[in-house]
């Protein structure tokens, strides 16, 4: 077979073979999308499984701010500590059911704090009864170096004419792990943030949040750490009825002075 015969034979062979179908871009894209979806589904399933394993291994946890902060959430021991150690002993000689003292010396201290708070209410304001206030509470926070740390909190509703608001004091006993710097301490109150000013009361430095951030459960609050480690927070707020902060019961210097007042120095 010469060259000419070979070329003719190759042409005849190629003519007998059917041509491939044209490229379908839509089909190709569809296949690619389905493959990508399968990859994402696998990754999502793996991530979900990892999350389930993590929760099962570490246990559930609370996210600060998710349901509103409370005094018990400041410096509170973890859930692991809750299960590892019994609660403090109550007046009946048995461990408490939870953090809150419902009888005994600690409970009485919380009630005494409410009396002291009532005593500082300006004479031009009244303290009406309400379902939420006045109230008081004593809570176990944690044990540090063998010392039980407690917090006491009391709150009252205030009224003056058509104006209504709230006044609160919260005390953490010595040994607490709260910040030392005055403004850092003030911003630790219920995890709220805001614009803080340093106010000098005699020789004491007090952190006062004069305007809150996004979390505005209180309009202003002061924080002071006594030399022995006792921490005092004093907070005030309006009921958001359009009343200006100038109608607050206490000025910023007065609020700072209250935080240093010995009547709130509880141990």
pLDDT single digits (tens) 68-98: 334 333 333 334 444 456 799 988 888 999 9
How many residues are listed for the chain in this entry?
A: 267
Q: What is the pLDDT of residue 172?
A: 98
| Residue ranges per structural domain of the chain | 25-60, 71-264
pLDDT of 15 over the 50 cut: yes
Enter the pTM of the model: 0.68
Q: What is the pLDDT of residue 246?
A: 55
Three-class SS of 196-263: EEEEEECCEEEEEEEEECCCCCCCEEEEEECCCCCEEEEEEEECCCCCCHHHCCCCHHHHHHHHHCHH
pLDDT of 219 over the 60 cut: yes
Q: What is the pLDDT of residue 73?
A: 39
């Amino acid at each position: 077979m010469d060259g000419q015969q070979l070329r003719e034979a190759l042409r005849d062979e190629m003519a007998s073979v059917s041509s491939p179908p044209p490229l379908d871009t839509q089909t190709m894209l569809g296949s690619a999308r389905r493959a990508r979806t399968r990859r994402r589904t696998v990754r999502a399933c793996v991530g979900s499984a990892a999350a389930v394993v993590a929760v099962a291994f570490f246990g559930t946890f609370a996210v600060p701010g998710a349901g509103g902060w409370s005094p018990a959430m400041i410096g509170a021991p973890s859930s692991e500590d809750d299960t590892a150690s019994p609660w403090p002993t109550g007046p009946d000689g048995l461990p408490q059911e939870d953090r809150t003292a419902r009888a005994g010396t600690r409970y009485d201290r919380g009630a005494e704090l409410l009396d002291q708070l009532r005593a500082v209410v300006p004479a031009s304001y009244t303290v009406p009864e309400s379902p939420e206030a006045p109230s008081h509470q004593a809570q176990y926070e944690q044990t540090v170096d063998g010392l039980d740390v407690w917090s006491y909190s009391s709150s009252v509703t205030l009224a003056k004419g058509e104006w209504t608001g709230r006044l609160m004091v919260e005390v953490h006993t010595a040994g607490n792990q709260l910040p030392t710097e005055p403004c850092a301490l003030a911003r630790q109150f219920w995890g709220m943030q805001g614009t803080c000013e340093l106010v000098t009361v005699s020789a004491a430095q007090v952190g006062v949040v004069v305007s809150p951030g996004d979390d505005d459960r209180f309009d202003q609050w002061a924080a002071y750490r006594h030399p022995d480690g006792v921490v005092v927070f004093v907070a005030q707020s309006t009921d958001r009825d359009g009343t200006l902060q100038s109608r607050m019961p206490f000025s910023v210097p007065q609020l700072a002075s209250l935080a240093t007042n010995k009547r709130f120095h509880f141990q």
